[in-house]
């Protein structure tokens, strides 16, 4: 417990100043580091029980980093960026993997990782770059995700009886999810009332509910992935907390939702 607390404090000491004072560029650099670390974690999962040639780790990392950088500098180029990245990954599977079965696995796994890590993670920076209230939208996403996780943890411990999805995550309960949703709705209303006044109360509560559910889905997707590849944690970069992807699994679903809300949802109101 002490080790987990120290690791969490150390991470916050690095991340919070970057979020507040680093601006879009600072957050981009932080995201770039995360993509580099996360690529290594995905490689370790993909190559567990799969004898991929070792040099493919660098192909994976270079492609994922390049896509993240390209999406930062050329948002409008989403389609051509992804097409080029897919062609590189698929041709690598075809020509650089000396086995049809392994080649197809590489193409499938690396494509999943492409959409999961650099593509979804790019929305973190886009949220921070929102011209008006960008920092507030970023913190709303963080506090809703953390509230959903904390509410689910404490409600699950106090009232949890009915398993949510035992095949993927044996410890999660329906009561825990309800607790997380209720806390996120409350936090959403309070946060928006104070720092995002253009968001109606009803929408703030709805956002809290949906983001809480998305955070659960994000957690379940990563749990499914780890079980499929036979690993306990994505990595060990944070003692007691696992890897970078373990810390980001829910945020990889809530940040894209925030970006979609700001870009397409709010203009309709």
Distance CA 253, CA 123 (A): 10
Q: What is the pLDDT of residue 17?
A: 84
Whether 139 and 232 share a structural domain: yes
Whether 164 and 146 share a structural domain: yes
Q: Which of 129, 164, 194 is the last residue of a domain?
A: 129
Whether 260 and 177 share a structural domain: yes
Q: Which of 129, 156, 175 is the last residue of a domain?
A: 129
Distance CA 158, CA 24 (A): 40
Tens-binned pLDDT, residue by residue, of the chain (269 aa): 455 556 567 667 778 888 888 889 999 999 999 999 999 999 999 999 899 999 999 999 999 999 999 999 998 899 999 999 999 999 999 999 989 999 999 999 999 999 999 999 999 999 999 988 999 999 999 999 999 999 999 999 999 999 999 999 999 999 999 999 999 999 999 999 999 999 999 999 999 999 999 999 999 999 999 999 999 988 887 666 689 999 999 999 999 999 999 999 988 87
Q: Tell whether the torsion through CA atoms of 256, 127, 265 and 188 is positive or negative.
A: positive
* End-to-end CA, the chain: 45
Whether 100 and 3 share a structural domain: yes
Residues whose CB falls within 8 Å of the CB of residue 146, separated by 6 or more in sequence, listed in order? none
Whether 25 and 84 share a structural domain: yes
Whether 171 and 121 share a structural domain: no
Is the distance from CB of 40 to CB of 236 less than 8 angstroms? no
Element (H, E) at 60: helix 56-73
Residue 215 sits at the vertex; the CA angle it makes with 211 and 216, to the nearest 5 degrees, is: 120
Q: What is the pLDDT of residue 19?
A: 80
Distance CA 248, CA 24 (A): 19
Whether 64 and 189 share a structural domain: no
12, 107, 111, 231, 267 from 223: Cα distances, Å: 24, 21, 18, 10, 35
Domain limits for position 139: 133-269
Extract the tokens encoding 172: 């999660």
Whether 55 and 85 share a structural domain: yes
Q: Which of 113, 129, 145 is the last residue of a domain?
A: 129
Whether 8 and 98 share a structural domain: yes
Whether 102 and 9 share a structural domain: yes
Whether 122 and 251 share a structural domain: no
Q: What is the pLDDT of residue 207?
A: 98
Whether 137 and 266 share a structural domain: yes
Looking at the 3D structure of the chain, how many domains does it have? 2
């Amino acid at each position: 417990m002490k080790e987990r607390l120290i690791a969490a404090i150390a991470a916050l000491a690095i991340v919070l100043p970057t979020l507040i004072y680093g601006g879009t560029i600072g957050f981009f650099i932080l995201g770039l580091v995360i993509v580099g670390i996360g690529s290594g974690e995905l490689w370790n999962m993909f190559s567990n029980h799969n004898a991929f040639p070792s040099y493919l780790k660098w192909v994976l990392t270079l492609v994922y980093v390049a896509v993240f950088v390209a999406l930062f500098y050329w948002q409008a180029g989403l389609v051509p960026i992804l097409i080029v990245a897919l062609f590189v990954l698929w041709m690598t599977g075809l020509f650089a993997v000396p086995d049809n079965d392994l080649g197809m696995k590489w193409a499938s796994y690396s494509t999943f990782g492409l959409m999961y890590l650099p593509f979804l993670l790019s929305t973190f920076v886009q949220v921070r770059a929102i011209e008006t209230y960008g920092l507030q939208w970023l913190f709303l996403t963080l506090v809703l995700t953390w509230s959903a996780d904390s509410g689910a943890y404490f409600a699950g411990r106090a009232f949890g009886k009915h398993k949510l999805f035992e095949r993927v995550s044996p410890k999660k309960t329906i009561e825990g999810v309800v607790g997380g949703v209720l806390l996120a709705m409350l936090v959403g209303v309070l946060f928006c009332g104070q720092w995002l006044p253009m968001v109606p109360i009803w929408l703030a509560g709805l956002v809290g509910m949906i983001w809480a559910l998305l955070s659960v889905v994000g957690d379940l997707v990563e749990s499914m992935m780890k079980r499929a590849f036979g690993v306990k944690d994505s990595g060990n970069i944070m003692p007691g907390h696992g890897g970078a992807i373990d810390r980001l699994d829910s945020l990889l679903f809530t940040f894209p939702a925030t970006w979609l809300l700001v870009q397409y949802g709010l203009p309709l109101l």
